[in-house]
Chains A and B, each alone.
Chain A
Amino acid sequence: MNTATFSLATLAPAIPEIVLAFLVLTLLVMDAFLAEEDRHVTYWLAVLALVGTAALTAYTVGRPTVVTFQGMFVADLMSQVLKVATLLTVAATLVLGRTYLAARGLLSGEFLCLAIFSALGMMVMISAHHFLTLYLGLELMALSQYAMVALQRDSARATEAGMKYFVLGALSSGLLLYGLSMIYGATGSLELTRVAFAIEHNQANRILAVFGLVFVVSGIAFKLGTAPFHMWVPDVYHGAATPATLMIGAAPKIAAFAFVMRLLANGLQGMTADWQQMLAVLAVASIALGNIVAIAQTNLKRMLAYSTIAHMGFLVTGILAGNDNGYSSAMFYLVAYVIMTLGSFGMILLLSRSGFEAEELDDFKGLNQKSRWYAFVMLVMMFSLTGLPPTAGFFAKLAVLQAAWEAGFQPLVVFAVLMSVIGAFYYLRIVKLMYMDAPACEITLEPRADARWLLSATAIATLALGVLPGPLLDLCARAITASM
Chain B
Amino acid sequence: MLLQGYLLSAAIWVPIAFGVAVLAIGNDRNPLPARWTALAGSVLGLAVCIPLWTGFEPTAAMQFVELASWIPRFNVSYHLGVDGISMPLLLLNSLMTVLVVVAHWEVITDKVGQYLGAFLIQSGLINGVFAALDAILFYVFFEAMLIPMFLIIGVWGGPNRVYAAVKFFLYTLLGSLLMLAAFIYLYIQSGGSFQILDFHKLPLTMTAQVLVFLAMLMSFAVKVPMWPVHTWLPDAHVEAPTGGSVILAAITLKIGGYGFLRFNLPIAPDASHYLDTFMITLSLIAVVYIGLVALVQTDMKKLIAYSSISHMGFVTLGFFIFNEEGMLGGMMQMISHGFISAALFLCVGVLYDRVHSREISSYGGVANRMPVFAAFFVLFAMANSGLPGTSGFIGEFVVILGTIKVSFWYAFLAATAVILGAAYNLWMTKRVMFGEVANEDVRALEDVNARELVFLALLAVAVIWMGVQPKPLGDVMSPALQELLRHVGQSKL
Question: A388 touches which one: B70, B143, B181 (CB < 8 A)?
Answer: B143
Chain B, 61-74, contact with A by CB distance < 8 Å: what is the 0/1 string?
Answer: 00000000011111
B445 at the interface (CB under 8 A from A): no
Q: Tell me, in angstroms, the Cα distance from A368 to B162 when the chains sit together.
A: 15
Find chain B residues with CB under 8 A from A473 CB.
Answer: 71, 73-74
Check if A390 sits within 8 Å of B154, measured CB to CB.
no
Check if A401 sits within 8 Å of B184, measured CB to CB.
yes
Question: A469 touches which one: B71, B111, B154, B169 (CB < 8 A)?
Answer: B71
Find chain B residues with CB under 8 A from A428 CB.
Answer: 150, 166, 169-170
Find chain A residues with CB under 8 A from B188 CB.
Answer: 402, 405-406
Check if B174 sits within 8 Å of A421, measured CB to CB.
yes
Find chain B residues with CB under 8 A from A420 CB.
Answer: 173, 177
Check if A417 sits within 8 Å of B178, measured CB to CB.
yes
Check if A477 sits within 8 Å of B73, measured CB to CB.
yes
> Which of A77-85, A131-139, A271-279, A431-439 is near enough to bind chain B?
A431-439
Chain A, interface residues (CB within 8 Å), range = 20 to 34
Q: Tell me, in angstroms, the Cα distance from A432 to B162 when the chains sit together.
A: 7
CB-CB contacts below 8 Å: A267-314 with B: none
Chain A, 95-113, contact with B by CB distance < 8 Å: what is the 0/1 string?
Answer: 0000000000000000000
Find chain B residues with CB under 8 A from A424 CB.
Answer: 169-170, 173
Question: B161 touches which one: A390, A401, A436, A470 (CB < 8 A)?
Answer: A436
Check if B162 sits within 8 Å of A398, measured CB to CB.
no
Question: B184 touches which one: A390, A402, A469 (CB < 8 A)?
Answer: A402
- Closest Cβ neighbor of B177 among chain A residues: A417
Q: Tell me, in angstroms, the Cα distance from A94 to B22 when the chains sit together.
A: 35
Check if B170 sits within 8 Å of A388, measured CB to CB.
no
Question: A474 touches which one: B72, B139, B144, B147 (CB < 8 A)?
Answer: B72
Shortest beta-carbon distance from A81 to chain B in Å: 16
Q: Tell me, in angstroms, the Cα distance from A405 to B162 when the chains sit together.
A: 36
Check if B170 sits within 8 Å of A470, measured CB to CB.
no
Check if A388 sits within 8 Å of B147, measured CB to CB.
yes
Find chain B residues with CB under 8 A from A39 CB.
Answer: none
Shortest beta-carbon distance from A411 to chain B in Å: 11
Q: Tell me, in angstroms, the Cα distance from A390 to B132 when the chains sit together.
A: 15
Check if A413 sits within 8 Å of B72, measured CB to CB.
no
B155 at the interface (CB under 8 A from A): yes
Find chain A residues with CB under 8 A from B170 CB.
Answer: 421, 424-425, 428
A394 at the interface (CB under 8 A from B): yes
Chain B, 129-163, contact with A by CB distance < 8 Å: what is the 0/1 string?
Answer: 00000001001110110110011001100000110
Question: A401 touches which one: B70, B146, B173, B181 (CB < 8 A)?
Answer: B181
Check if A390 sits within 8 Å of B140, measured CB to CB.
yes
Find chain B residues with CB under 8 A from A432 CB.
Answer: 154, 162, 165-166
Question: B140 touches which one: A368, A372, A389 (CB < 8 A)?
Answer: A389
Find chain B residues with CB under 8 A from A399 CB.
Answer: 74
Chain A, 378-406, contact with B by CB distance < 8 Å: what is the 0/1 string?
Answer: 01000100001110001100110110011
Find chain B residues with CB under 8 A from A372 CB.
Answer: 114
**Residue among A389, A394, A431 with max Cβ neighbours from chain B (10 Å):** A389
Check if A389 sits within 8 Å of B143, measured CB to CB.
yes
Question: B177 touches which one: A421, A425, A436 (CB < 8 A)?
Answer: A421
Check if B162 sits within 8 Å of A470, measured CB to CB.
no
Check if B154 sits within 8 Å of A413, measured CB to CB.
no
A30 at the interface (CB under 8 A from B): no
- Closest Cβ neighbor of B156 among chain A residues: A436
Question: A436 touches which one: B70, B165, B180 (CB < 8 A)?
Answer: B165
Find chain B residues with CB under 8 A from A395 CB.
Answer: 71
B187 at the interface (CB under 8 A from A): yes
Find chain B residues with CB under 8 A from A18 CB.
Answer: none
A66 at the interface (CB under 8 A from B): no
B185 at the interface (CB under 8 A from A): yes
Mostly, the A contact residues are helix
Find chain A residues with CB under 8 A from B154 CB.
Answer: 432, 435-436
Chain A, 56-99, contact with B by CB distance < 8 Å: what is the 0/1 string?
Answer: 00000000000000000000000000000000000000000000
Q: Tell me, in angstroms, the Cα distance from A432 to B157 when the chains sit together.
A: 13
A440 at the interface (CB under 8 A from B): no
Shortest beta-carbon distance from A421 to chain B in Å: 5
CB-CB contacts below 8 Å: B439-486 with A: none
Find chain A residues with CB under 8 A from B177 CB.
Answer: 417-418, 420-421
Find chain A residues with CB under 8 A from B184 CB.
Answer: 398, 401-402, 405, 413
A414 at the interface (CB under 8 A from B): yes
Find chain A residues with CB under 8 A from B136 CB.
Answer: 398
Check if B155 sits within 8 Å of A436, measured CB to CB.
yes
Q: Tell me, in angstroms, the Cα distance from A410 to B186 when the chains sit together.
A: 13
Check if B150 sits within 8 Å of A417, measured CB to CB.
no
Find chain B residues with CB under 8 A from A414 CB.
Answer: 178, 181
Q: Tell me, in angstroms, the Cα distance from A162 to B151 when the chains sit together.
A: 40
Check if A435 sits within 8 Å of B151, measured CB to CB.
yes
Check if B155 sits within 8 Å of A389, measured CB to CB.
no
Chain B, 385-419, contact with A by CB distance < 8 Å: what is the 0/1 string?
Answer: 00000000000000000000000000000000000
Shortest beta-carbon distance from A212 to chain B in Å: 34
Find chain A residues with CB under 8 A from B140 CB.
Answer: 389-390, 394
CB-CB contacts below 8 Å: A427-484 with B: 428, 431-432, 435-436, 469-470, 473-474, 477
Q: Tell me, in angstroms, the Cα distance from A249 to B146 when the chains sit together.
A: 29
Check if B146 sits within 8 Å of A470, measured CB to CB.
no
Q: Tell me, in angstroms, the Cα distance from A368 to B174 when the chains sit together.
A: 27
Find chain A residues with CB under 8 A from B70 CB.
Answer: 470
Check if A413 sits within 8 Å of B146, measured CB to CB.
no
Q: Tell me, in angstroms, the Cα distance from A399 to B71 when the chains sit together.
A: 11
- Closest Cβ neighbor of A474 among chain B residues: B73
- Closest Cβ neighbor of B185 among chain A residues: A405
Q: Tell me, in angstroms, the Cα distance from A379 to B154 when the chains sit together.
A: 14
Find chain A residues with CB under 8 A from B174 CB.
Answer: 418, 421
Q: Tell me, in angstroms, the Cα distance from A432 to B155 when the chains sit together.
A: 9
Chain B, 25-43, contact with A by CB distance < 8 Å: what is the 0/1 string?
Answer: 0000000000000000000
Q: Tell me, in angstroms, the Cα distance from A389 to B185 when the chains sit together.
A: 19
Q: A405-B185, A405-B188, A421-B170 are in contact. Are A390 and B144 (CB under 8 A)?
A: yes
Find chain B residues with CB under 8 A from A477 CB.
Answer: 73
Find chain A residues with CB under 8 A from B165 CB.
Answer: 432, 436
Check if B150 sits within 8 Å of A389, measured CB to CB.
no
Shortest beta-carbon distance from B376 to chain A in Å: 33
Q: Tell me, in angstroms, the Cα distance from A477 to B166 when the chains sit together.
A: 37
Check if B173 sits within 8 Å of A421, measured CB to CB.
yes
CB-CB contacts below 8 Å: B170-215 with A: 170, 173-174, 177-178, 180-181, 184-185, 187-188
- Closest Cβ neighbor of A436 among chain B residues: B154
Q: Tell me, in angstroms, the Cα distance from A414 to B73 when the chains sit together.
A: 23
Q: Tell me, in angstroms, the Cα distance from A379 to B161 when the chains sit together.
A: 18
- Closest Cβ neighbor of B157 among chain A residues: A436
**Residue among B140, B155, B188 with max Cβ neighbours from chain A (10 Å):** B140
Find chain B residues with CB under 8 A from A474 CB.
Answer: 72-73
Check if B71 sits within 8 Å of A470, measured CB to CB.
yes
Q: A405-B185, A421-B174, A424-B173 are in contact. Are A388 and B146 (CB under 8 A)?
A: yes
Q: Tell me, in angstroms, the Cα distance from A413 to B136 when the chains sit together.
A: 17
CB-CB contacts below 8 Å: A329-347 with B: none
Nearest 5 Cβ contacts at the A-B interface: A389-B140, A473-B73, A417-B177, A470-B71, A436-B154
**Given A418-B177, A435-B155, list of 18 further CB < 8 A pairs?**
A368-B111, A368-B155, A388-B143, A388-B146, A389-B139, A389-B144, A390-B140, A398-B136, A401-B180, A401-B184, A405-B181, A414-B178, A417-B177, A424-B169, A424-B170, A435-B151, A470-B70, A474-B72
**Could you jot down 16 A-B contacts, CB within 8 Å?**
A368-B111, A368-B155, A389-B144, A394-B143, A398-B136, A399-B74, A402-B74, A402-B187, A405-B188, A420-B173, A424-B169, A425-B166, A425-B170, A432-B162, A436-B155, A473-B74
